[in-house]
Amino acid sequence: MEDRVLVVGGGTIGLATGFELVRQGTPVTLFERNDAGRGTSWQAAGMLAPDAEIGFEELSLYGLNRESLRRWPDFARRVEAASGMDVDYRDEGTLIVADDRDSAEALRRLFEFQEEQGLDVDWLTGEEAREIEPFLAPRLTAAIFCPSDHQVDNRRFLEATRTAFEAEGGTLHEQTPVEVVQPDPDAPAVVTADGERVEGGQVLVAAGVWSRDLDGLTPEAQPPVRPVKGQMLQLRRKTPFDLQHVVRGPDAYLAPKSDGRIVMGATSEEMGFDTTVTAGGLYDLLEGGWEVVPGIYDLPVDETWAGLRPASRDHAPLLGRTGAPGVCMATGHYRHGILLTPVTAEEMARLLRTGETSTWLEPFSPRRFSGTQSSNVSP
């Protein structure tokens, strides 16, 4: 039986899983309809922030996020070694700040929840927070410091992972949309837009928010993902202004990169596949950012954009076998796809190579929504 894995989609998930597979000796052909790495993954902020982004109702997702962060440093080193490129991995931590009485109360509730869950977090006065990050607004009264949260330059990481994938022997077809997936237990195939049929041993659908558009899958096997729009803007650091930590205010976050970019986000909008950048979106971000770090006022704006988060119904990813023979899926990473890259890539590579699933994948089976089978165990 052919052991080649056909990957549909060259975002952080497809590239990193492809890299992990070829590194371990499994041949991979990856199909990307545009340029690899320029989908939602390019639009992200690169925060690796399970502690700051913990959700009150999302403890099983928190466990997966945390595990992925634990794996990030080694994964980044492997990608850097294989590509010869630096991904700007940073570990200064996140400061979550409050700018009025309501947000201070919300911050206190979050802190109590984080402490109940045993997270490594500190409550700071405004003065203590400004000792760590002097450009925070003088009127801020409280902050939570999450020292275990990290960040990466997701754009550098994507370029490095793409290079690493090819350096390890992966085959990358860009400008090659896949239109149809043809399930089969022994020889599943994909059909590209120009009509070429390519057969492999298994297919991995990693087409992000576009994963449900592929023909050939039954409605039960199609992933229930929807786009959640996030508008972003990028400032350029200029002395004397400085920022070292990721700062999250009630209405905006700021993620400083080592090359001087400060990525600010993000709106959260249910607008279908619309990616228009609006005056209102930018206004909200700039106001939200300025309220917590007023020194951004004089910085040049050098880019604006909007990306589409792939959200499932329960906001957790879909990882593992689908109901379609020979077809696996890794999508629906919503707000955490960069963070979840190592655990997704490593566990999906294991499933594709050995047929063995793991306790990490079990709760996130794509079949949990179809009612056909809830686990990732072999049919």
38 DSSP β-pair partners: none
Query: Should residue 264 be labelled a site residue for ligand FAD when binding is judged by CB under 6 A?
Result: no
**Stretch binding ligand FAD (CB under 6 A), from 8-16, 76-84, 282-290, 362-370:** 8-16
In the complex, what is the shortest distance from the CB of residue 346 to ligand FAD, in angstroms, rounded to a whole number?
15
Residues 18-57 binding ligand FAD (CB under 6 A) are 31-34, 39-41, 43-47
Query: Should residue 230 be labelled a site residue for ligand GLY when binding is judged by CB under 6 A?
Result: yes
Query: Should residue 206 be labelled a site residue for ligand FAD when binding is judged by CB under 6 A?
Result: yes
Report whether 17 contacts 330 (CB < 8 A).
yes
Residues 83-142 binding ligand GLY (CB under 6 A) are none
Partner from ligand GLY, ligand FAD, none contacting 235, C-beta within 5 to 8 A by type: none
In the complex, what is the shortest distance from the CB of residue 71 to ligand GLY, in angstroms, rounded to a whole number?
18
- Extract the tokens encoding 30: 């990856």
Partner from ligand GLY, ligand FAD, none contacting 39, C-beta within 5 to 8 A by type: ligand FAD
In the complex, what is the shortest distance from the CB of residue 21 to ligand GLY, in angstroms, rounded to a whole number?
26
Query: Should residue 9 be labelled a site residue for ligand FAD when binding is judged by CB under 6 A?
Result: yes
Rule CB under 6 A: choose which of 10, 256, 265, 289 binds ligand GLY.
Answer: 265
> What is the binding site for ligand FAD (CB under 6 A)?
8-14, 31-34, 39-41, 43-47, 177-178, 206-208, 210, 214, 230, 232, 265-266, 307-310, 331, 333-339
